[in-house]
């Protein structure tokens, strides 16, 4: 059924407040501060973007991943914001935004290295791919 809460397309295809997260920001959850809710929404957007990417829907993945990255960066959560630019960079490569992809992946590598994340190897591999596609 299109448009129900289980349909990821419904989360990103609406307009107005709550379109990207199924209307979560309009709801009040007792005991949770707005900052924590914003992080939960960012995680949900990241999952939606990654789901679109896994299905090869690169253009649809870009918006939710950008939204998630912005929220993670504004919340000063480097452990969460490290993988986000890597995931966005991979999507940007697939939509042909190679220079922006390289910038995102370089930022991801710096954060992932700082936090000793095992995803450093993935970021390095993505940079090698981008280096073959872009002149230095």
CB 106 within 8 A of CB 88: no
Chain mean pLDDT for the chain: 82
pLDDT tens digit sequence for 75-101: 877 677 779 999 999 999 999 999 999
What confidence score (pLDDT) does residue 18 get? 45
pLDDT band at residue 44 using 50, 70 and 90 as cut-offs: very high
Higher pLDDT residue, 54 or 72?
54
Nearest to 67 by CA among 41, 95, 104, 93: 41
Per-residue pLDDT at 25 exceeds 80: no
What confidence score (pLDDT) does residue 36 get? 83
What confidence score (pLDDT) does residue 127 get? 97
Dihedrals phi, psi of 26, to nearest 5 degrees: -85, -15
Per-residue pLDDT at 24 exceeds 50: no
pTM of the shown model: 0.75
What burial class does residue 97 get, using C-beta atoms within 10 Å of its C-beta: 0-12 exposed, 13-18 middle, 19+ buried? middle
Per-residue pLDDT at 29 exceeds 70: no
The CATH architecture that domain 33-133 belongs to is: Alpha Horseshoe (1.25)
What confidence score (pLDDT) does residue 34 get? 77
Average pLDDT on 22-47 reads 74
Those residues whose C-beta lies under 8 Å from the C-beta of residue 132, and which sit 6 or more positions away, are none
């Amino acid at each position: 059924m299109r448009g129900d809460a289980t349909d990821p397309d419904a989360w990103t295809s609406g307009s107005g407040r709550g379109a990207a997260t199924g209307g979560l920001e309009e709801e009040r959850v007792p005991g949770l501060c707005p900052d924590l809710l914003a992080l939960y929404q960012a995680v949900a957007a990241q999952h939606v973007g990654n789901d679109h990417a896994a299905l090869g829907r690169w253009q649809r993945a870009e918006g939710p991943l950008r939204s998630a990255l912005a929220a993670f960066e504004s919340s000063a959560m480097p452990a969460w914001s490290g993988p986000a630019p890597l995931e966005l960079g991979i999507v940007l490569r697939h939509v042909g935004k190679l220079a922006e992809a390289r910038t995102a992946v370089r930022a991801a590598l710096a954060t992932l290295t700082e936090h000793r994340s095992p995803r450093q190897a993935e970021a390095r591999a993505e940079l090698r791919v981008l280096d073959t596609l872009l002149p230095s």
